[in-house]
Amino acid sequence: MDGRDVVAMWEGLASRDAASRDAAMESLQQEMMRRVESIGPLPETPCSSSASHLNRVLARILMLSKRCPYGDVREKCIWLLRSIQDIGVRIPRPLGNGPSRFIPEKEILQVSKVDARTQSIFEEAFSLGHLDNISLVMGFHPQYLESFLRTQHYLLQMDGPLSLHYRHYIGIMAAARHQCSYLVNLHVNDFLQVGGDPKWLNGLEGAPQKLQALGELNKILAHRPWLLTKTHIESLLKAEENSWSLAELIHAVVLLTHYHSLASFTFGCGITPDIHTDGGHTFRPPSLSGYCVCDIANGNGALEEMLGNQQVRVAEVSGEVEVLMERMKQLQECRDEEEASQEEMTTRFEREKTESMLVATAEDEECVPSRDVSRHFEDPSYGYQDFSRRGEHVPTFRVQDYSWEDHGFSLVNRLYPDVGQLLDEKFQIAYNLTYNTMATHQGVDTSMLRRAIWNYIHCMFGIRYDDYDYGEINELLDRSFKVYIKTMVCSPEKTTKRMYESFWRQFQHSEKVHVNLLLMEARMQAELLYALRAITRYMT
């Protein structure tokens, strides 16, 4: 079977047409049995290239048996693995306990148990090759997932100023800035698939000068976007033979901010490696008990489940939700009774901005990036927290002077058509998404809480809304929640399971994922505002 036939076979398994899937599955079964019989039983550590290739294919079949949205493909892949195991070939099993280290697998949407709308979204994502662990966790919120996938597909695959391999390389650069090996590995594979030069992956110095020049913008946007000036923009647009066009730069900026914020979501939800990738499966038998291929179908075999998950004692946090709801009610009553003066509003913003910089991130540990990730960026010591240690001041960015709605949206849409609209829809869905619930309480207006979270993130970046009373933030967001927010937004690689569990302990996991969507989109918009303002200043 030549390369084109193999590609057609995998694409056929993702088809919405049952007959195409059947034909592709038949081809896969025949090809696998032929390969297995020609190689014979495999040692635990394969030494030949043919054995290594077989193991990669087996890992992909394992992924299909667990993640394919089509039941017929899942069932046939389970049968195929069982048949291969009966011949004497060791088959892989999943590592870990589902798509997230923080959320029990049984609480995440299973591809076999979703409603019609989510099923359709999963099928579309799968056909595009993006039903990954991030999508499965976002599946708690199908309306958002649909918008996210549409936007990401447009940025990576549709017509645009940048070539496909440049897009994936910029994704690698952005994700590496936060040491996010999950996203780096994802785009290394995609980069190679679209014909990218493997030499570029040896390190940023191996990439074209044009991409190397983007390193400074990547660094500043990821950690201290308020330092971005029109001079940085000018240096990219007037670099003689290595210069960027305005349209290319807008595309690059959107990609950088997309993957910086997606790294925040990846760490904030404890996303694990996809089943078919390194770290997502193993060929070693489990150490505690025998392993049966039927475990693939029912999700057994994970060490954490065998030992039992430690649950947070509800008694410790009894009343947490009710206290928060009461504070929201009291703040609403205060709003109705009196309005603070502009001077007082300014004072409250400056106080909150200063306090936000003093919030420590994840015990303030230092994270040393691995060589595999750090080679894709420069100056690894550069981070968000350094400026507060030196007592530097973050200037205030007034949304009334430059906003996404009135300025950024039109600039993006003009230079990169349709992307402004896609981003705006995604921001709006994340900001307005509500089920009118808080834990077990129904019929709750959560708009005040959502706005406090969004505005707190923008406040950390120096962005101020003149009409918002920043005194509400301290009433609604407790310290453990602020530590989680700041870590996930500013130093996401330091996010821990303990931090995830320490805030909103009575809330559902779906509600915490909703929070992470807010954090991700608020961060992306904050970075975009600084970048687009600098570009606007250059243009004028």
The catalytic site residues sit at 180
- Write out the two tokens for 381: 């010591």
* Closest-CA residue to 226 (of 398, 466, 419): 398
Q: Indicate the SS3 state at residue 455.
A: helix
d(CA 491, CA 37): 50
Q: How far is CA 158 from the centre of its chain?
A: 20
Can you give 395-416 as a three-state secondary structure string? CCEECCCCCHHHHHHHHHHHHC
Residue 48, burial from CB neighbour count under 10 angstroms (0-12, 13-18, 19+): exposed
Phi, psi of 385 (to 5 degrees): -70, -20
Sign of the torsion angle spanned by Cα atoms 240, 242, 248, 252: negative
Partners of residue 398 on adjacent β-strands: 464
| Strand 441-442 with 437-438, pairing | antiparallel
Is residue 219 a contact partner of residue 378, using CB atoms and an 8 Å limit? yes
What Å distances lie between residue 86 and 34, 239, 398, 526, CA to CA? Answer: 15, 62, 67, 55
Asked whether the beta carbons of 260 and 86 are under 8 A apart, the reply is no
Cβ neighbours of residue 179 under 8 Å, at least 6 residues apart? 367, 369, 370, 373, 374, 493
